[in-house]
Every structure is written in structure tokens, then in C-alpha cells.
């Protein structure tokens, strides 16, 4: 059986280029997590696509940027008295986050123009790449919408806009990963049996569940919900926080004004925990089924990785939660987010190979 990607030639070059893009988006999501957890996202108060490429290079420029930040609600209400050196720390993380986005654009456009010139890109891939461009533009634009939400009255970005920004980034990551897979991975050469169809359906359900879980994780980060219940397995002294059981709390206002009480953060953390339990059980169910019936080694290996990553992610979540006393541990929180993206990638891979099961011809005697 031959690999989909040629050992030499245009397909190999394009495949490497696409996978570099996937890796760069992954790194950008990690840097975004660091930016969020260090409170750096509001340190740059303007969005200038061209001039924003150049950081402050002189003391006077640094003072100028610091003065802009000192006029924000975040400085007035949270970071008042911050020194210039402390400001530089948060500034650099936000700058790196924005600079990396610009670098991704260059890594995309320069090879893309070369490939178009060489006529290496067919019409199907061209449409897919244009979709990536549109998605990237939306992600970048929504990033500024998110930042702007924290420059008005509140000293933080809207957790809901944060989740939209993260979700769009993950859609871009998943889509680019999907279109890069034909250049790298072989098809499963097995008859399209009911087992493979069922496995694919279950993995699609898992993909949806994990996507919802990541949204809840984004809300956990945006609301800093871990700080309110840094205990496990109970949320303080109860499995279900009493706020959730009070019917009068279940209003749109309780979620839109989440910062005025503990109901929203309690609800988000409760659902994040319990969906995690359900996902873990579901992954184990899929694994048992595959190990019993699969004759394809790559599928079995992929599901083994799925189980390992899932259990690792659960452990990371518990550790991050227990250490969130007073402050959320940046390193653990970022690793937790990164493994969530890896989990998504594993699920995409499994769905991909199951989407390309080749039917074998059956000869009748």
C-alpha cells in the first residue's frame, strides 16, 4: 500500500508547509493561553496592523505605552501602582501573541504565491486555502473585539468573547489539520463494515463533546472560575453547589453579569467537571469496542493514544484546580489547554482515517 504523500515533489513540500501552519496555530493557542492567564491581553491598547509590528525600542516609547495602559480600567482597578518593568512583562506576552499572528501570515503567503506560480495547487486545495485565509481574518478581527471589551468599563475581557476567539482559532486549527492529512496519512484498507461506521459516528459525537468541554474550559479561564472552588472531588463541601439548585438564579442576567455573584462560575465549573467525567467514560467505551473488534493496527494505536491523552488531560485539570488557591498556576493552566488541543487533533486523525475506509471488492463463487 502506497502512502498518500509522495517521497519527493510538490506534494511533500505542500504537506510540510500545511503541517507547519498547523503547528504554528497550536503555538499561537498556547501563547494566547499564557497571555490570558498572566493578564497580559489588555497591555496593548491599540490595534495597528503595520506600525504594531515594531515594539517600543526606547525608554520614551516604553513610557508612552505605559501611559496608555494606565488609562485602562484594568490598571485603575487591578494593577494600580504597577512598575514599568512589570508592565514590560505583560506587554511582551501580548506583543508576542500579535507578532506570531503576523508571522503566520508571512509563512502562509510567501510559499502560497510560489506554489501558485509553480501551479502546484489544484482548484480544490485553492478553495480550502482561501477558507483558511477567511477563518484567520475572522480570528484576528475577533481578537481585537475581545480586547476592546476590556478597555471600556470592566477591567477584564468578556469571557464570552474570549471563548468565541478561542473557538474560532480551534476551528481554523482543525480545518487546516484536516486538509493537511491527505498529504501525510494512509487510508485504512478494510471493508466498510458496520463496526467502522459506528466507530466514526461515536468519534464525531466525542468531537462535539470535547469541543463543548473546551468552550467550558475557556469560560473557566475567562471567569477565573477555578479560584472559587479549588477543591476535588467536591466543590467545597458539596457535589452540586447550592447556587445551582436555586431556580431564581437561572436567568440570562445571571450569566451576562456573571461577576456580580458566584452562580455563573459555579455552574461553569460544575458542568466542566461533569462533562469531563462523561467524556472519560465515553472514551473508555470507544476503546473497549475498538480493541475487541478492530483489525487495523493504526486504529488501535490511535485509540490507545486517545485514552492516554484523555486520562492525562483529566489529571492536569485536577492538578490545575487544586493549585488554584489565590492565583491560577500559569504553567499548569497552559499545559492543560495545550493537551486539550492535542486531544482534538487525535480525534480528528481517527475520524479522518475512518472517513477513508476503502471498500474491497468481494468475488462471489
pLDDT tens per residue, range 219-274? 999 999 999 999 999 999 999 999 999 999 999 999 999 999 999 999 999 999 99
Put residue 185 in one of left, alpha, beta given phi > 0 → left and psi -120 to 50 → alpha: beta
Residues 265 and 358 in one domain: yes
Quote the distance between the C-alpha of residue 293 and its chain's center.
32
- 50-84: per-residue pLDDT in tens? 777 899 999 999 999 999 999 999 999 999 999 99
Residues 129 and 203 in one domain: no
Residue at a domain's end among 124, 152, 186: 186
Q: Which structural domain range is residue 225 located in?
A: 188-365
For residue 5, is pLDDT > 50?
Answer: no
Residues 117 and 217 in one domain: no
Residue at a domain's end among 186, 201, 219: 186
- Tally of structural domains, the chain: 2
Residue at a domain's end among 151, 186, 221: 186
Residues 5 and 133 in one domain: yes
Residues 71 and 195 in one domain: no
Distance (Å, rounded) from C-alpha 298 to C-alpha 310?
Answer: 18
Is the bond preceding 233 in cis, omega lying within 30 degrees of 0?
yes
Residues 259 and 153 in one domain: no
Residues 177 and 194 in one domain: no
What's the Cα-to-Cα distance from 264 to each of 36, 228, 238, 239, rounded to whole Å? 19, 11, 17, 16
Amino acid at each position: 500500500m502506497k502512502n498518500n504523500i509522495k517521497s519527493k515533489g510538490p506534494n511533500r513540500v505542500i504537506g510540510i508547509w500545511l503541517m507547519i501552519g498547523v503547528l504554528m496555530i497550536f503555538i499561537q493557542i498556547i501563547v494566547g493561553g499564557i497571555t490570558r492567564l498572566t493578564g497580559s491581553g489588555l497591555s496593548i491598547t491599540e490595534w495597528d496592523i503595520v506600525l504594531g509590528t515594531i515594539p517600543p525600542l526606547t525608554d520614551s516609547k516604553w513610557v508612552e505605552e505605559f501611559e496608555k495602559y494606565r488609562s485602562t480600567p484594568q490598571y485603575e482597578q487591578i494593577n494600580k501602582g504597577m512598575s514599568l518593568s512589570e508592565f514590560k512583562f505583560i506587554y511582551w506576552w501580548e506583543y508576542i501573541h500579535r507578532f506570531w499572528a503576523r508571522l503566520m501570515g508571512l509563512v502562509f503567503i510567501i510559499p502560497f504565491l510560489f506554489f501558485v506560480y509553480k501551479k502546484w495547487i489544484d482548484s480544490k486545495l485553492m478553495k480550502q486555502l482561501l477558507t483558511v485565509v477567511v477563518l484567520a481574518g475572522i480570528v484576528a478581527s475577533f481578537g481585537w473585539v475581545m480586547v476592546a471589551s476590556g478597555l471600556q468599563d470592566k477591567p477584564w475581557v468578556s469571557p464570552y468573547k474570549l471563548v468565541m476567539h478561542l473557538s474560532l482559532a480551534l476551528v481554523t486549527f482543525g480545518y487546516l489539520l484536516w486538509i493537511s492529512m491527505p498529504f501525510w496519512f494512509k487510508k485504512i484498507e478494510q471493508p466498510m463494515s458496520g463496526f467502522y461506521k459506528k466507530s466514526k459516528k461515536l468519534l464525531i459525537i466525542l468531537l462535539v463533546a470535547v469541543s463543548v468541554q473546551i468552550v467550558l474550559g475557556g469560560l473557566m479561564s475567562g471567569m477565573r472560575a477555578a479560584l472559587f472552588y479549588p477543591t476535588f472531588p467536591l466543590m467545597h463541601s458539596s457535589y452540586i453547589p447550592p447556587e445551582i439548585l436555586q431556580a431564581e438564579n437561572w436567568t440570562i442576567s445571571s450569566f451576562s453579569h456573571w461577576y456580580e455573584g458566584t452562580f455563573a462560575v459555579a455552574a461553569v465549573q460544575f458542568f466542566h467537571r461533569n462533562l469531563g467525567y462523561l467524556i472519560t467514560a465515553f472514551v473508555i467505551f470507544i476503546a473497549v469496542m475498538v480493541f475487541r473488534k478492530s483489525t487495523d493496527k493504526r486504529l488501535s494505536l490511535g485509540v490507545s493514544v486517545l485514552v492516554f491523552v484523555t486520562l492525562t488531560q483529566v489529571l492536569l485539570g485536577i492538578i490545575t484546580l487544586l493549585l488554584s488557591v489565590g492565583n491560577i498556576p500559569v504553567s499548569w493552566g497552559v499545559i492543560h489547554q495545550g493537551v486539550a488541543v492535542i486531544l482534538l487533533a487525535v480525534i480528528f486523525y481517527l475520524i479522518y482515517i475512518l472517513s477513508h475506509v476503502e471498500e474491497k471488492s468481494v468475488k462471489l463463487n
